[in-house]
Structure 1
């Protein structure tokens, strides 16, 4: 069994990170980041994989020199895959899923994609369904299909570069790709329809060891050539993993970042509605998990419209008193309020103020609470990622969801979750005590605000 420090490649939609996690207590020894800015093309907007690769190699070398690296694992955002040529290089750049190109062939793709009942994947815009990306790429480049020998999901693109081994993983395949049937634990009918069934690499569990690093990676980083490379995992499922192995259901985990993903474990039975951006995720053990999502991190930045100022108690009280509230959706292309136009009611707090931060935090909490309702949430709500440090968000969510809200301490919960792939039985809970609004009068003010916010949605 691997001991020592675990290097985690953590590619989010906004930032690429490399974290070094101490196995003994899952603490983060070091974290470095670089922006994940898409390159404009040609042939289309795509991820800067070569820039990331140099960043990863340099970071691994630095981590190993300073602390030692015993294993490597990977977590990335979903809705991305790599088309691998015969020589192991990319047959085409990795498409940025926010490119609108696939929408040009939406009608043709809709005619061939499997139904929600088969895949648990809602029909999403742009390239958010990986199947739609592949269909669009093959239709726009007739020679591409012949140049592609293998298709891997995004965590396994990095695993392949590190180890030379080809794979996909069940969590990435289960992330609204249209390519996976989470109920039968197998590929959906779409790969056969697209003519790529023989090209997609075999699915593996995220905790499988694919192999060891190549001699070239060992030479470039100084790591031992026997350093194992683990298969890798979709980022929101990395956040979920530690709770699956340390908690008894029911509970929900809310993974926050560019996307806010709410996942219910052991919740009430519900009928998911793909029109509301609810979906079935697949966890690290291959099981289906009812989920809902919206672009909360991006909405946070857009709604603030300026610097983030920590909201004080007095700021929250002023917003509650004035009933100044933001209505959805700041990013109207996705989420349970897709198609709604955002606006302020009760007065718009000035940008750069604590009141603005409080009102935006309340907004994000109320959308999160709505997502939790849609997936049959029960029990405590664990918050992973940057929103775990947003007091306005946490306090409003606890009241709106009528549940204990438990923020985690980690700044990169996805990295610690991915590190657990190396030794899931050694998971430890790194959590701050559950937050509650102890003052009844203040609690009532939060509750009135939440009630008025929901009433305003109906009026709209």
Structure 2
């Protein structure tokens, strides 16, 4: 029995590439405690930077031990949300036999060509696995790379676990996997047959991959003489989508913004086409194992680069308070100067209009910082609108939810609402969405009464109207160069 003043909690590790967070949620899924840290990276055997798996594992175990020693807290359930495209390879003794390779590590082009030649070509494989070819970002290719370039190491592997499942393994000793991790551009999952792709069997990789369990699956754990239930982990993008899927009844698209902007449409069941793949669309699997059509754009990276460029050229401050001037937007549209339209220097290979080479945006053609900034935002949001349409497909989804960093940018939100006057556009200020999603699924919340949790109010949804008299549906970003 626990003391009457002990708080029963769900503990969640939310592991990002930069920030590692540890949450305690009470029974109403309010945050009781949050801790955050960043951990020093290490390098792999080729000198490429990567996560220090030993340091990360030590930090996770320490946080659990500290919490178990706190007599005001009782862990009832534990789960893990982490970034994807990362595998931990265990030997027969349960020890990691490789570093946790960085998904940005360069992939040998000749090895990729060999793979495509063996298994029917890039187009066929990409369509079957709903995975644009992205090298190490396709975690299945990491296994292929190990087998063909480091065969002695590969022979030692008995289990390959996605990072969420590895952290669960640290506590439970159980190997497992689930669909949100497998379904995220891994090139492992065949969306047509709904099982591991046949290439994993032919390459003798499938025996290393655990059988698939529901994301809500839990293990009964006895950890340091404390009993609680431990989840098998979840991919962070699907975890961040989960609270909205659970709380909302009407179809919606979720635009998750930041360095990357990713539009998720859980209600587009159309098969992915190769043309969509070429325009940076792909598929995820949600907590129910259903397809989520998604479209990506390197929005935040381009925005920050161009903001600095404008700042340096015009010798202006960062001007976070730049307000949308309707007349200036109209002037940019009416002039429709192709020489002044934004040219992508960082996001050129992403989004609905990818190109092979960057082009320099000529900011010196503008008379003022304000004028250039309005052109920048107009074109970035125009590209964003096309990305949203790509995720929408033929399904007429009427609700758009904007989350992440750009949900706080009124300029961006107002323009986006003006591109979609026939839809309702909301910002959602749900903090810690991926951690909350991991907490919800490990408690099997889909089977419970959501209204009792007041979950909808936690989303922090606020509706935004189009700018009066500014309909941008006819505006398009004229790109230079041809799509790949």
TM-score w.r.t. the length of structure 2 is 0.80
The Cα of 1:5 is off from its aligned counterpart by 2.3
Listed one character per residue, the Cα deviations across residues 249-268 of structure 1 (whole Å, up to 9, x for unaligned) are 42111233443321113348
Alignment partners' CA distance in 1, 2:286 and 2:216: 12
Listed one character per residue, the Cα deviations across residues 383-418 of structure 1 (whole Å, up to 9, x for unaligned) are 233333232222222222443222222232111111
Query: Would you say the 8 A contact 1:270–1:376 is kept in 2?
Result: no
The correspondence for 2:459, drawn from 419, 431, 438, is 431
Distance 1:48 1:367, change over 3 A: farther
Distance 1:87 1:258, change over 3 A: farther
The answer on 1:42 being equivalent to 2:59 is no
Aligned to 2:278: 275
Aligned to 2:24: 20
The correspondence for 2:193, drawn from 176, 180, 184, is 184
Query: Would you say the 8 A contact 2:414–2:466 is kept in 1?
Result: no
Aligned to 2:204: 195
Query: Would you say the 8 A contact 2:298–2:350 is kept in 1?
Result: yes
Listed one character per residue, the Cα deviations across residues 325-370 of structure 1 (whole Å, up to 9, x for unaligned) are 634352334433332525436668999x898887666555433322
In the TM superposition, what are the counterparts of 1:224-303 in structure 2 within 5 Å? 225-267=226-268, 269=270, 271-272=272-273, 273-303=276-306
Aligned to 1:97: 103
Alignment partners' CA distance in 2, 1:261 and 1:248: 21
The answer on 1:341 being equivalent to 2:358 is yes
Q: Pick which of 373-382 and 74-83 moved more.
A: 373-382
Alignment partners' CA distance in 1, 2:92 and 2:370: 55
The Cα of 1:421 is off from its aligned counterpart by 0.8
Alignment partners' CA distance in 1, 2:141 and 2:290: 24
The answer on 1:108 being equivalent to 2:114 is yes
Aligned CA RMSD, in angstroms, stands at 3.4
The answer on 1:454 being equivalent to 2:470 is no
Aligned to 2:337: none
Distance 1:104 1:13, change over 3 A: farther
Aligned to 1:406: 426
Alignment partners' CA distance in 2, 1:96 and 1:350: 43
Alignment partners' CA distance in 1, 2:25 and 2:380: 30
Alignment partners' CA distance in 2, 1:359 and 1:270: 35
The Cα of 1:288 is off from its aligned counterpart by 1.4
The answer on 1:416 being equivalent to 2:397 is no
The answer on 1:121 being equivalent to 2:131 is yes
Q: Greater CA radius of gyration, 1 or 2?
A: 2
TM-score w.r.t. the length of structure 1 is 0.84
Alignment partners' CA distance in 1, 2:407 and 2:248: 19
Alignment partners' CA distance in 1, 2:219 and 2:390: 37
Listed one character per residue, the Cα deviations across residues 297-329 of structure 1 (whole Å, up to 9, x for unaligned) are 444444443999574363666873674763435
Alignment partners' CA distance in 2, 1:72 and 1:349: 54
Aligned to 1:130: 139
Query: Would you say the 8 A contact 1:74–1:155 is kept in 2?
Result: yes
The answer on 1:141 being equivalent to 2:150 is yes
Listed one character per residue, the Cα deviations across residues 90-130 of structure 1 (whole Å, up to 9, x for unaligned) are 11111101011343522112224562332222222x31111
Distance 1:456 1:293, change over 3 A: closer
The Cα of 1:184 is off from its aligned counterpart by 2.9
Aligned residues: 442
User: What secondary structure sits across from 2:201 in the alignment?
Assistant: helix
Distance 1:20 1:362, change over 3 A: farther
Aligned to 2:169: 160
Aligned to 1:30: 33
Distance 1:391 1:67, change over 3 A: farther
Query: Would you say the 8 A contact 1:79–1:127 is kept in 2?
Result: yes
Q: Which runs of 5+ in 1 are unaligned?
A: 216-223
User: What secondary structure sits across from 2:239 in the alignment?
Assistant: helix
The answer on 1:379 being equivalent to 2:384 is no
Listed one character per residue, the Cα deviations across residues 402-455 of structure 1 (whole Å, up to 9, x for unaligned) are 4322222223211111111123234612234443246514x34xx2xx755524
Query: Would you say the 8 A contact 2:241–2:433 is kept in 1?
Result: no
Query: Would you say the 8 A contact 1:327–1:363 is kept in 2?
Result: no
Alignment partners' CA distance in 1, 2:475 and 2:467: 20
Aligned to 1:388: 407
Aligned to 2:14: 10
The Cα of 1:159 is off from its aligned counterpart by 0.8
